[in-house]
Amino acid sequence: MMKKYNVAIIGAGAAGLSAAGAALRRGRSVVILDMGDRPARKVAASGGGRCNFTNMAAGRDRYFGKNPDFVRGALARVRPSDILDWAAGHGLGWVEKNPGQMFCKTGAADIVRALMQDANDAEILYNTPVKNVRREQSGFAVEHDGGIIFAERLIIATGGISFATLGVSDTGYTVAKQFGHKIIPPRPALCAIDTNAFPAEWAGVSIRAEIKIGSRKISGDMLFTHFGIGGPAVYSASLAGTDNDIIINLMPDIDVLDWLRNQKHKNGKKSIHTLLGMHLPTQIARHFGTTNGNIADTRDTTLAQIAGQITNFKIPARTWRHHGMAAAEVTFGGVDTGDISSKTMESKLCPGLFFAGEVMDITGDLGGFNLQWAWASGRVAGENA
């Protein structure tokens, strides 16, 4: 006999479990199907196991995709302060590591436990990939290896296709396409960048930098690698496409030309690379300070050229690429939000079909924004399903 539920959810991640908790609070019967052997695998791994579970600055300007305005409805309905209240309700504390970034004081495992407490009355089928979904008169028939379940409402919360080691699937895209939804081609985001713009000997060096890409300016730590650049500032910059130039300021905290001119008068007998070594790692200082002799003997026009190279280091568009989906924290692209209601997360093409989280073409910035989107969109989808 086919088992029947009010709501079926594909995906037991952050968005799926958030949706389950919301639907259960409305008195709905819920089943969750997940291809993995345990719930919320990305949540458990997030923040190096510490789980940066929200960010107080979550707003439209920290989200990206074809239509970032789509996030406004859900983020107004479920704010970061609501997530802190939810955490407190489960006896969890938090630590603000950087302004606005909230980490679970006792680690990611406790966030997963809280999600599972909320979803306690749902039936969860692990190691259960979905083979097919059919629209029927009064709902959806979801076929899997163990049989078929029927649900009046269906929520797709399968996440993106990055971080393959945690088990990922494009099932969400397949089901969405089946019901007429367009897919914005997925690509890696919040990841390192491949480029051969830097000398090989810089690999392993970390500095504080400012990156300009498109209309954005990002400050933070940057790591030179054997394949290019990584680190938090680069991860955030990777939200942009490869049709953008990357402009890097390697000494963002001072006016470099003004400082070099001052050093010419104050420390005229020192070499440029020695002086640059006051602010830059040795390998980088040597690269820009190749001019022979003392700084006193160096023309101001040469100092201006050196300052320009340091503060406007350019990686031209299409000469760099995203490092790869396997190591990316999130997927950029997904189900086009143009055919989804921003108020309810329901499909405009197929009544009763809902979407939640990263499966949609919405990507948050680094620092807890993607989990906030998962909680918010999941809760909205669950309440309306």
Q: How far apart are CA 96 and CA 16, in angstroms?
A: 26
Tokens read off for 15: 């968005």
Tokens read off for 262: 């001052």
Q: Provide the percentage of residues in the chain whose pLDDT is more than 90.
A: 93
Q: Report pLDDT digits (tens) over 34-62.
A: 999 999 999 999 888 899 999 999 999 99
Q: Identify the structural domains of the chain with CATH numbers, from first to last.
A: 3-187+332-384 (3.50.50.60), 192-323 (1.10.8.260)
Q: Report pLDDT digits (tens) over 273-304.
A: 999 999 999 999 999 998 778 999 999 999 99
- Contact (Cβ atoms closer than 8 angstroms) between residue 251 and residue 280: yes
What DSSP string describes 37-106?
SSS-HHHHHGGGGT-EEEETT-SGGGEESS-GGGGHHHHHHS-HHHHHHHHHHTT--EEESSTTEEEETT
Predicted confidence at residue 162, as pLDDT, reads: 82
Distances (CA, A) of 345 to 76, 121, 280, 360: 14, 23, 49, 10
Q: How far apart are CA 184 and CA 200, in angstroms?
A: 35
Q: Which of 168, 167, 171, 166 is nearest to 154 (CA)?
A: 171
Predicted confidence at residue 169, as pLDDT, reads: 81
Tokens read off for 340: 């989804």
pTM of the model: 0.95
* Residue appearing with tokens 């990206």: 64
Q: How far apart are CA 86 and CA 92, in angstroms?
A: 9
pLDDT confidence band for 167 (50 / 70 / 90): low
Predicted confidence at residue 47, as pLDDT, reads: 83
Predicted confidence at residue 271, as pLDDT, reads: 95
Tokens read off for 271: 């070499």
* Residue appearing with tokens 């989906």: 325
Summarize the confidence of residues 187-213 as an average pLDDT: 97
What DSSP string describes 350-369?
STTEEE-GGGBS-EEPTTTH
Predicted confidence at residue 165, as pLDDT, reads: 64
Q: How far apart are CA 89 and CA 111, in angstroms?
A: 12
Q: How far apart are CA 185 and CA 183, in angstroms?
A: 6
What is the chain's length?
385
**Greatest C-alpha distance within the chain:** 89
DSSP state of 156: E
